[in-house]
């Protein structure tokens, strides 16, 4: 089934390139490109029942001549339609050819969103549908029109019809009630009924998740003998007593788990997961202190230079008084500083090297690396973590993440790691008050911000875009920065930070905000991770409806880090999602809700879910299936010599060959 895409009529060189850019290189891979959602075209709504915000199918007749006009870079086709209960306008942007197709009296099946425009309910850019039932909707691929994409998938299905081998053992399929593979592939795209769709997607998701977890277990079971750190029995307590604060029960429990791992002869591979402000960094520093007490070097890798420098400053405060020599290795150092850093790491002069991916570059050699810590794991691939651990002889690996993940999903995404959860916040963390602010109350918000700055506090503004876009209606950071700097808050010191800036300029702006030189920081989501400014008490998130709940929670975690009352203002019209954000500050509840609403594939993005393709997309929020496949993999591997277990292991090796190669399993 690995036929070239050119087997499909209508796919020429340009479309082949577009498909390849989306990771689709064969007819088989095109069939595995599952719909992101489905439209129920049998569920037709009467025009008189349409309300602003509704997305619906309507059966209508064209009620008059269509008009075509031009506005800036847009073409706008407008026509009135009726179904006997009401007559409403329909508008399409940049599809001028539709004017000639809208002949009076023509019957149409339209699917789209109703909006209120100039006081009238209007259907905005609906799609023209045909037939009925459940119609697939695919994630858009640049360069491939939606209709052409659907036709290409249909053609690919026809080519592969009846050719999908049922590779899962029959006993396993019977035990878990899994439908036949060819039926599953057909109905995942063009289902005859909702029941057929659910059965199809469950089969595909089950298979992919099962094989993924078996592949990860291969990694765990091939873990080499690692560095056993022989530290004194009182080392843990000595570390805690040296801190200027008392640890929480959760911190003590998790460090005990880490310490037991480090003492064992098997290389530690542990994820420490906790909400923003739960004290994960103190646990990481404690592990570094234990490694030092046992005579070993440590490395701590952060995803950004700002976060690496922050950890370096913290390490100097907490670890240097305990006798550890700390060093910083980041890309912006001079050539001489790089050379000196490499020498200090190789000679063992530095007990802990803190830095970015510069720590894993070819020229860096460690004298006696016993512990590797990576922060914000979702920003690193497995390969980067492995490269750092390869700098030593199977050192212990500790991974930190402030992205709350439902525990069942952690079992899948981090199947190669043991998991510890820091589920308690230290006393003194001020809960952040979260409020929704509609556009009509913006001026009042600016007055509140001035008052906060007058008290000596600082403010974040976060925007979804860097610059203005015709395609997306959202507040761009550059535009907001100019408006605040020249008009709305011109009496305050304002800085701008976004991902397109030179790293040195970005770091300098962040440093001015961190040190209090700037009152306000306007930013994109580059500040989502790691910026620690205890004096910042207000987070304003523009177009909050454009962010996922988990991301909103991460951004909210940038404030509330000091003793002062802190606020997070969501600039948007109220909706159920945002009201949920206002009602809870529990990151794990937020993550569960986000997964329920958006599905885990979107929640974690390609960098994290990596090999999970069809399965993770087919899941939605089905945590029961996650747990079921986890248990099925565990049961199979309890008896690895059975025919069924060997068949599934071989399948997992074949399906995830690239991923396993990345982590050193051939």
| Structural domains of the chain ordered from first start | 43-129 (2.40.50.140), 235-263+279-401 (3.40.50.300), 432-584 (3.40.50.300)
Copy the structure tokens of residue 60: 């209508």
Tell me, what DSSP letter sits at residue 545?
A: G
Taking each helix axis as running N to C, give the angle between helix 194-221 and helix 643-655, from 0 to 180 degrees, rounded to the nearest 10.
Answer: 90
Contact by Cβ (8 Å): 58, 45: yes
Q: For residues 251 and 278, what is the distance between their CA atoms, to the nearest angstrom? A: 8
* 354-385 residues labelled b (16+ CB within 10 A) or e (exposed): bbbbbbbeeebebeebbbbbbbbbbbbbbebb
CA distance 18 to 626: 32
Q: Is the C-alpha dihedral spanning 370, 373, 377, 380 positive or negative?
A: negative
| Residues in CB range of 471: below 8 A, 6 or more apart | none
Q: Dihedral of the CA atoms 243, 249, 254, 257 (nearest 10)?
A: 100
Q: Which helix (H) or strand (E) holds 71?
A: strand 67-71
CA 56 to centroid of chain Cα atoms: 29
Could you tell me which residues come within 8 angstroms of residue 191 by beta carbon, excluding any fewer than 6 positions away? 38, 133, 134, 197, 200
pLDDT value of position 604? 36
pLDDT of residue 471: 37
Tell me the sheet residues that pair with 112.
56
Q: Tell me, what DSSP letter sits at residue 244?
A: S
Distances (CA, A) of 181 to 66, 199, 206, 625: 47, 10, 12, 18
SS3 255: helix
Bridge partner residues of 329 (DSSP): 355
Rounded Cα distance, 90 and 66, in Å: 10
pLDDT at residue 436 in the model: 95
CA-CA distance, 628 to 10, in Å (whole number)?
41
Q: What pLDDT sits at residue 323?
A: 94
In the chain, the N- to C-terminal Cα span, in Å, equals 24
Q: What is the pLDDT of residue 111?
A: 94
Provide the pLDDT for residue 399.
Answer: 87
Per-residue tokens: 187: 């109905």
- Which of 26, 98, 18, 94 has the alpha carbon at shortest distance from 66? 98
* Helix or strand holding residue 497 (H, E): strand 494-497
pLDDT score at 169:
93
What Å distances lie between residue 257 and 393, 399, 410, CA to CA?
A: 22, 13, 17
Task: Return the bridge partners of 61, or none.
Answer: 82, 107
Which tokens is 301 given? Answer: 């890798």
Instruction: Show the low-confidence residues of the chain (pLDDT under 70).
Output: 1, 219-224, 376-389, 403-416, 428, 430, 465-475, 527-531, 595-623, 657-666
Backbone angles phi, psi at 400, to 5 degrees: -110, 140
Write b or e for each residue in 41-52: b if 16 or more Cβ atoms lie within 10 A of its Cβ, otherwise e: beeebebeebee
DSSP code, position 30: H
**According to the model, what pLDDT value does residue 410 have?**
63
Residues 6+ apart with CB under 8 A from 590: 404, 549, 550, 552, 553, 580, 581, 584
For residue 202, CA distances in Å to 210, 480, 506, 531, 541 come to 12, 45, 45, 41, 37
Residue 572: CA atoms inside 13 Å, Cβ hemisphere, count?
28
Contacts of 331 (CB under 8 A, 6+ apart): 305, 356, 358, 503
- What's the half-sphere exposure (Cβ side, CA atoms, 13 Å) at 401? 24
pLDDT of 12: 92
Residue pair 495/506 in contact (Cβ under 8 Å)? The answer is no
CA distances from 441 to 96, 447, 571 (A): 38, 10, 9
| pLDDT given at position 413 | 61
């Amino acid at each position: 089934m690995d036929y070239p895409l050119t087997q499909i009529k209508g796919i020429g060189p340009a479309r082949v390139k577009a498909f390849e850019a989306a990771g689709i290189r064969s007819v088989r891979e095109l069939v595995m490109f599952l719909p992101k959602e489905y439209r129920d075209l049998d569920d037709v709504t009467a025009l008189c029942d349409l309300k602003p915000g509704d997305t619906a199918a309507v059966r209508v007749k064209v009620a008059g001549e269509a008009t075509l006009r031009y506005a800036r870079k847009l073409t706008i086709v407008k026509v009135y339609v009726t179904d006997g209960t009401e007559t409403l306008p329909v508008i399409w942007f940049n599809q001028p050819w539709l004017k000639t197709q809208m002949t009076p009296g023509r019957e149409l099946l339209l699917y789209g969103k109703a909006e209120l425009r100039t006081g009238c309910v209007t259907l905005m850019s609906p799609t023209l549908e045909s037939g009925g039932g459940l119609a697939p909707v695919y994630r858009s691929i640049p360069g491939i029109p939606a209709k052409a994409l659907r036709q290409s998938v249909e053609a690919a299905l026809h080519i592969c019809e009846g050719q999908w081998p049922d590779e899962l053992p029959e006993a396993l399929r019977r035990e878990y009630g899994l439908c036949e593979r060819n039926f599953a592939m057909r109905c995942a795209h063009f289902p005859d009924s909702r029941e057929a769709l659910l059965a199809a997607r469950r089969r595909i998701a089950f298979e992919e998740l099962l094989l993924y977890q078996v592949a990860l277990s291969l990694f765990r079971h091939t873990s080499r003998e690692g560095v056993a750190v022989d530290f004194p029995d009182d080392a843990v307590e000595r570390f805690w007593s040296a801190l200027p604060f008392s640890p929480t029960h959760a911190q003590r429990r998790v460090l005990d788990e880490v310490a037991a791992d480090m003492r064992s002869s098997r290389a530690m591979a542990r994820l420490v997961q906790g909400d923003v402000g739960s004290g994960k960094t103190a646990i990481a520093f404690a592990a570094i202190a234990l490694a030092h007490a046992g005579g070993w070097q440590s490395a701590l890798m952060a995803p950004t230079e700002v976060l690496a420098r922050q950890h370096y400053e913290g390490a100097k405060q907490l670890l240097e008084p305990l006798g550890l020599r700390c060093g910083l290795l980041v890309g912006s150092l001079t050539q001489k500083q790089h050379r000196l850093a490499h020498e200090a790491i190789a000679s063992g002069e530095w007990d802990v090297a803190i830095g970015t991916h510069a720590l894993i570059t070819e020229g860096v050699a460690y004298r006696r690396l016993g512990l590797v810590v990576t922060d914000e794991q979702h920003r690193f691939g497995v390969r980067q973590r492995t490269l750092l651990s390869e700098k030593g002889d199977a050192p212990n690996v500790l991974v930190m993440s402030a992205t709350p993940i439902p525990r069942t999903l952690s079992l899948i995404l981090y199947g190669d790691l043991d998991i510890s959860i820091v589920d308690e916040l230290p006393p003194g963390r001020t809960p952040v008050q979260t409020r929704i602010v509609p556009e009509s109350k913006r001026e009042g918000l600016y007055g509140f911000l001035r008052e906060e700055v007058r008290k000596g506090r600082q403010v974040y503004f976060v925007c979804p875009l860097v610059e203005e876009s015709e395609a997306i209606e959202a507040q761009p950071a550059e535009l907001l920065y100019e408006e605040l700097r020249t008009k709305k808050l011109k009496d305050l010191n304002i800085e701008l930070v976004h991902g397109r800036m030179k790293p040195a300029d970005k770091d300098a702006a962040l440093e001015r905000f961190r040190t209090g030189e700037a009152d306000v920081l306007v930013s994109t989501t580059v500040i989502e991770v790691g910026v620690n400014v205890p004096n910042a008490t207000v987070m304003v998130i523009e177009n909050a409806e454009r962010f996922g709940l988990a991301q909103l929670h991460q951004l909210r975690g940038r404030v509330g880090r000091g003793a002062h009352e802190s606020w997070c203002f969501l600039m948007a019209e109220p909706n159920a999602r945002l009201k949920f954000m206002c009602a809870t500050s529990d990151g794990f509840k937020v993550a569960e809700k986000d997964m329920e609403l958006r599905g885990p594939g979107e929640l974690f993005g390609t960098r994290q879910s990596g090999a999970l393709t069809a399965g993770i997309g087919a899941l939605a929020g089905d945590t029961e299936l996650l747990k079921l496949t986890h248990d099925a993999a565990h049961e199979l591997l309890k008896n690895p010599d059975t025919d069924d277990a060997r068949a599934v292991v071989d399948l997992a090796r074949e399906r995830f060959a690239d991923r396993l190669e990345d982590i050193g399993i051939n």
